[in-house]
């Protein structure tokens, strides 16, 4: 108890708080520079007092979950999971130079060919800003042929800035109460995940490739995206298992991040006979190819610019504009998670038209329906449900729209309603 109180006091007693006490007790004169200094400190003071209420709430929630025996995960697992997982000196690299060169060649060619693509396939909005900030150094190393430096950056993905914009990535502050909140979110998500999927705990573990953070389990880790990615892999398996057992099917994901869905689909369902396509911007394709190649060295990969034989490739990684080239009615499931809403309206309409053309059965997606102001963002966010007439008017049935509960636990904001939703459409 005393340990938690000390941590809490440390959080809520900044210099500005002492300035406030001095003024309140009239121990400094209310004039001149001292008045100016106090007014400068006041916003920080108010912010810290408000934050202290949040910290106290996280602490009380932690105790409540422990008292009701719902603390499935511990802080010690969490601390270890937030430490660096970079390879030690002398350890074998995830990928050899030849494999990395394949990835880099595909990146260079996809960037060269991107210039001549139609406007809906050009990078814009939020991602245009992120790429200009995050990928400049990595891109320079790739173009100059500096494999060693590029490997260092990729090996630190999830904590390096190249991961900005991807779920569960970024250098999380080493703040006890931020970690405590995340631990509470994990403990609240776990029973939901268990009831929705019926899976065992090993079905939500990622390998420690890159520098993912989360709950540590030996050489594996439970990332914040583990719940959502393994859930959707399970959902796709439920919808298509009978067909996938009897013949090979094709799953196409638009915007696969660093590969969570694909990883759990292949790891958790080895008898699920499928070919996986990822269509994303060239920068994101660097990460997903690195992660999946490192995770499945025994699988076959087809990359942009190489001769692609659909029958021989487990994973095909292509830039987003190759969506136009996929054979009509050749895909059983098109999936998207948390990226369609970040695209322009014209791009979304174009993608929905392509989804109608290539899919012969399902379109499953999960996106938010909030406004940019809800998240303190300045970029346009498209509400997919307002544009899905591009599908329903062509004979698609909207099977359901329901809250995406596992994401809403992690992204809950008391100022805004639940805005993350899961949609399933089926083609007639």
pLDDT digits (tens, 9 = 90+) for 335-364: 999 888 888 889 999 999 999 999 999 999
User: Three-state SS for 277?
Assistant: strand
285 has a pLDDT exceeding 80:
yes
Name which of 102-111, 354-363, 405-414 the model is least confident about: 405-414
DSSP string, 62-77: HHHHHHTT---S-HHH
27 has a pLDDT exceeding 50:
no
Name which of 98-102, 154-158, 166-170, 227-231 the model is least confident about: 166-170
Please compute the mean of the pLDDT values over residues 247-259 and round it to a whole number: 95
Torsion of Cα atoms, 374 then 377 then 378 then 382, to 10°: -60
DSSP string, 368-382: E---GGGGT--S---
Give the pLDDT of residue 294.
95
63 has a pLDDT exceeding 80:
no
Residue pair 170/225 in contact by the 8 Å Cβ criterion: no
Give the pLDDT of residue 281.
96
Q: What is the pLDDT of residues 194-219, one digit of tens each?
A: 999 999 999 999 999 988 888 888 88
- Helices then strands, counting H and E runs in the chain, come out as 15, 11
Residue pair 374/415 in contact by the 8 Å Cβ criterion: yes
b/e code 328-340 from CB counts within 10 Å (16+ = b): eebbbbbbbbbbb
The C-alpha atoms of residue 354 and residue 315 are separated, in whole angstroms, by 20
32 has a pLDDT exceeding 60:
no
Q: What is the mean pLDDT of the chain?
A: 82
Name which of 36-50, 80-94, 335-349, 402-416 the model is least confident about: 36-50
**CA-closest candidate to residue 350, choices 340, 339, 337:** 340
Give the pLDDT of residue 371.
61
Paired sense of beta strands 220-222 and 206-207, if any: antiparallel
128 has a pLDDT exceeding 80:
yes
372 has a pLDDT exceeding 70:
no
Name which of 114-123, 142-151, 159-168, 204-213 the model is least confident about: 159-168
Give the pLDDT of residue 268.
97
Beta bridge partners of 250: 275
Please compute the mean of the pLDDT values over residues 269-285 and round it to a whole number: 96
Please compute the mean of the pLDDT values over residues 318-329 and round it to a whole number: 97
Give the pLDDT of residue 142.
97
Percent of the chain at pLDDT > 90 equals 50
314 has a pLDDT exceeding 60:
yes
Give the pLDDT of residue 37.
56
CA distances from 2 to 8, 17, 179, 340 (A): 10, 22, 19, 47
State pTM to two decimals.
0.84
Name which of 15-24, 64-73, 317-326 the model is least confident about: 15-24
Give the pLDDT of residue 370.
67
The sheet carrying 359-368 orders its strands as: 301-303, 315-319, 274-280, 249-254, 331-337, 359-368, 420-427, 396-403
95 has a pLDDT exceeding 70:
yes
**CA-closest candidate to residue 183, choices 260, 87, 80:** 80
Give the pLDDT of residue 270.
93
For residue 43, what pLDDT band results from cuts at 50, 70 and 90? low
Residue pair 212/158 in contact by the 8 Å Cβ criterion: yes
Beta bridge partners of 304: none
């Amino acid at each position: 108890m005393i340990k938690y109180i000390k941590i809490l006091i440390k959080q809520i007693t900044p210099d500005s708080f002492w300035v406030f006490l001095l003024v309140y007790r009239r121990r400094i004169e209310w004039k001149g520079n001292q008045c100016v200094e106090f007014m400068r400190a006041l916003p920080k003071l108010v912010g810290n007092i408000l934050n202290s209420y949040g910290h106290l709430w996280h602490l009380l929630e932690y105790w409540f979950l422990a008292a009701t025996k719902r603390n499935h995960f511990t802080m010690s697992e969490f601390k270890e999971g937030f430490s660096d997982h970079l390879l030690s000196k002398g350890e074998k690299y995830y990928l050899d130079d030849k494999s990395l060169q394949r990835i880099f060649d595909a990146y260079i060619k996809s960037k060269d060919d991107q210039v001549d693509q139609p406007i809906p396939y050009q990078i814009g909005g939020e991602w245009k800003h992120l790429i200009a900030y995050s990928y400049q150094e990595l891109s320079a190393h790739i173009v100059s042929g500096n494999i060693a430096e590029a490997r260092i950056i990729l090996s630190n993905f999830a904590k390096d800035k190249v991961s900005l914009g991807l779920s569960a990535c970024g250098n999380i502050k080493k703040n006890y109460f931020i970690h405590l909140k995340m631990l509470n979110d994990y403990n609240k998500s776990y029973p939901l995940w268990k009831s929705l999927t019926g899976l065992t705990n090993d079905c939500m573990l990622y390998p420690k490739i890159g520098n993912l953070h989360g709950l540590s389990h030996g050489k594996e880790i439970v990332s914040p995206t583990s719940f959502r990615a393994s859930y959707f892999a399970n959902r796709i398996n439920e919808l298509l298992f009978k067909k996938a057992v009897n013949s090979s099917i094709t799953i196409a994901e638009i915007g696969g991040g660093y590969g969570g869905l694909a990883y759990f689909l292949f790891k958790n369902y080895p008898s699920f006979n499928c070919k996986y396509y990822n269509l994303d911007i060239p920068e994101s394709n660097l990460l997903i190819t690195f992660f999946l190649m490192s995770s499945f060295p025994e699988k076959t990969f087809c990359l942009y610019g190489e001769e692609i034989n659909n029958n021989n490739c487990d994973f095909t990684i292509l830039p987003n504009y190759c969506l136009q080239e996929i054979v009509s009615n050749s895909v059983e499931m098109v999936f998207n998670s948390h990226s369609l809403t970040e695209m322009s309206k014209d791009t979304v309409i174009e993608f929905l038209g392509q989804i109608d053309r290539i899919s012969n059965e399902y379109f499953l997606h999960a996106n938010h329906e909030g406004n940019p102001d809800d998240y303190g963002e300045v970029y346009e966010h498209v509400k997919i449900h307002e544009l899905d007439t591009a599908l329903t008017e062509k004979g698609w049935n909207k099977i359901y729209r329901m809250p995406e509960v596992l994401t809403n636990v992690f992204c809950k904001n008391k100022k805004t309603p639940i805005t993350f939703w899961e949609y399933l459409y089926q083609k007639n």
